[in-house]
Structure 1
Amino acid sequence: MSRSKSRPRTTTAGTGPRATTARKGSGFTATVERPSRVHGDAYVTLRVTATDAAGNSVTQTVDRAYQHRGA
């Protein structure tokens, strides 16, 4: 895959910001930051889209992938 983008979102706050992605070896890593407007515990849904050089793409969504604990 030549490009990858991901968009984390909390189930309590709607669509969140894009995650910061970086190539690492043959894959990618993503850094997810908690939105400042979210208080208390919140589940995070992850959506990743990857596209290869030929234009083929795949999107995968994981609902409630993990929970951010509130401060």
Structure 2
Amino acid sequence: MFYVYILFSEKFDKYYVGSSQNPWKRLQIHNTSTFNTFTSKYRPWVLKAVFKAGKTRGKAEKIECASQIY
């Protein structure tokens, strides 16, 4: 099962929408990765919501793209 998840950075008042088979583990990676990425600039992140998005990555990514927060 794939999920779409929403992260929030209270410190920077930013949201991030992503998709993963394991959003709880993905949250840990967003908060600890040593790579310089969009999410690394706005740590710490908290998981605000998780939604089932289907059995394929493609379906989850379509929902993720349609759910982008600007």
TM superposition score category, shorter chain reference:
0.3 to 0.5
Scaled by the length of structure 2, the TM-score of the pair is 0.38
Considering fraction of residues, name the structure with more helix.
Answer: 2
Query: Which structure is larger by alpha-carbon Rg, 1 or 2?
Result: 1
Relative contact order (C-alpha < 8 Å, sep 6+): which is higher? 2
Scaled by the length of structure 1, the TM-score of the pair is 0.38
